[in-house]
Amino acid sequence: MNRRGATIRQVAAAAGVSVATVSRAIENPKIVAPETQSRVQRAIQELGYVPNAQSQILRTSRTRLVVALVPDIANPFFSEVIRGIEQVANANRYSVLLGDTQYDSAREQGYISMIAARQADGVVSLVPRIPKELAQSQSRFPFVNACEYVPDANVTSLYVDNVAGAMKATSHLITLGHRRIAHIRGPMTSQICVDRQKGYEQALRRARISVNKSLISAGDFTVESGIRATGELLSRGEELTAIFCANDDMAFGAMQALRARKLDVPTDVSVVGFDDIRYSRHFHPALTTVAQPKFELGRSAMAALLEIFADANALPYKRVFATELVVRDSTGPWREIIGPKPVRKSV
């Protein structure tokens, strides 16, 4: 039964009052007589009473629990966003339940169903997909999308201007004199990757450099995929002097693959990432990348969810944050090559 802890009934008996009075003494101390209050407090102390949250929830139907849906908990990018979420959640007496979906929709669904079972009040999703439940208006629940977004979905979403961020990265390379700039993109199921590629192409066109599809290769956000994509790029025989990667992990992979082929970064090839995770500044060479306001994104997302809790009819909105290009050591000027071109068919 109730192995640990006393119940409100026992406290009431010990204090010689009704359970109603105990409940009031805890929730709304001002409305009980001071003398009663102290009797109740003493009983609480003696019995080590802690209210059973489940019972409170059942009565009030608020779990004070929020689920954070994260595609990959092992990516430090998300850790920082989560920290932001936790900070404002805790400040508002909410706890966050972390769901690592590993980009798998079944695991995603498992966590979403906790909402249906009323085990959590709402969700902050960092995943590029909207749960189907949100489509049916009768089963709507408090939901906020952060970092990722779905273009036509009518849900509050907070993310960065990915097109502009990618343009900054690419323009930086162009300014350095690069013309043959490759792109390692992320999965196209993620709108932000579509946007980043768009920004890349836009910057190229603006500089009157034609977009060459052979200079674009696909990854899936992992370091390993960055290694593979770079290998592909090089084996296609296209010359390239710079690579813009859709995230930092893939940029690490690109640098590793380049190094394995005795190509120096940035002397032979410049590399730019996206996200600015905490290892980027420590890598060698330190990575030039497009920084997202990770912590702030998390904070704002949780704040948005809180707003929805406060007003279920609040209108969904999109909030777009700016990025910042952080120039470090992985990018350098394009240099006139004496002798062989930096990268050729048979590297």
Task: Residue 9: name its binding partner from DNA, its own copies, none (Cβ under 5 to 8 Å by kind).
Answer: DNA
Least Å from the CB of residue 139 to DNA: 14
SS3 sequence of 189-208: CCHHHHHHHHHHHHHHHHCC
User: How does DSSP assign 47-112, residue by residue?
Assistant: HT----HHHHHHHH----EEEEEES-TTSHHHHHHHHHHHHHHHHTT-EEEEEE-TT-HHHHHHHH
Does 26 engage in binding with its own copies (CB under 8 A)? no
Does 211 engage in binding with DNA (CB under 7 A)? no
Q: Which is nearer to DNA, 37 or 191 (CB)?
A: 37
Q: Which residue has the tokens 């595609």?
A: 71
* Separation CA 166–CA 299 (nearest Å): 24
Which residue in the set 8, 158, 246, 301 belongs to the binding site for DNA (CB under 7 A)? 8
Does 1 engage in binding with its own copies (CB under 8 A)? yes
**Contacts (CB under 7 A) with DNA, residues 17-46:** 17-21, 23-24, 26-27, 30-33, 35-36
Strand partners, 16: none
Q: Which is nearer to DNA, 30 or 282 (CB)?
A: 30
Does 86 engage in binding with its own copies (CB under 8 A)? yes
Strand partners, 125: 69, 145
Task: Residue 116: name its binding partner from its own copies, DNA, none (Cβ under 5 to 8 Å by kind).
Answer: its own copies
Task: Residue 95: name its binding partner from DNA, its own copies, none (Cβ under 5 to 8 Å by kind).
Answer: its own copies
Least Å from the CB of residue 40 to its own copies: 18
* Separation CA 143–CA 145 (nearest Å): 7
Tell me how crowded residue 17 is: count the other CB atoms within 10 A of its CB: 18
Q: Which residue has the tokens 């997202």?
A: 292
Does 9 engage in binding with its own copies (CB under 8 A)? no
Does 55 engage in binding with its own copies (CB under 8 A)? yes
Least Å from the CB of residue 143 to its own copies: 12
* Separation CA 200–CA 170 (nearest Å): 6
Which residue in the set 278, 318, 319, 341 belongs to the binding site for its own copies (CB under 8 A)? 278
Alpha helices in 99-190 (DSSP H): 105-116, 162-175
At residue 276, the 3 state secondary structure works out as coil
Contact 123/115 with Cβ under 8 angstroms?
yes
Number of residues that bind its own copies (CB under 8 A): 57
Which residue in the set 161, 231, 256, 303 belongs to the binding site for its own copies (CB under 8 A)? 256
Per 3-state DSSP, the chain is made up of helix, strand and coil in percentages (nearest 5) of: 45, 15, 40
First and final CA of the chain: distance in angstroms? 71
* Separation CA 147–CA 316 (nearest Å): 16
Does 231 engage in binding with its own copies (CB under 8 A)? no
* Site stretch for DNA (CB under 7 A), options 1-9, 100-108, 273-281, 318-326: 1-9
* Site stretch for DNA (CB under 7 A), options 49-57, 156-164, 171-179, 281-289: 49-57
Q: What residues line the site for DNA (CB under 7 A)?
A: 1-2, 5, 7-9, 16-21, 23-24, 26-27, 30-33, 35-36, 49, 51-52, 55-56, 58-61
Q: What residues line the site for its own copies (CB under 8 A)?
A: 1-5, 48, 50-55, 57-58, 61, 63, 65, 73-74, 76, 79-80, 82-83, 86, 90, 95-100, 107, 110-111, 113-114, 116-119, 138-141, 223, 252-253, 255-256, 259, 278-279, 282-284, 312
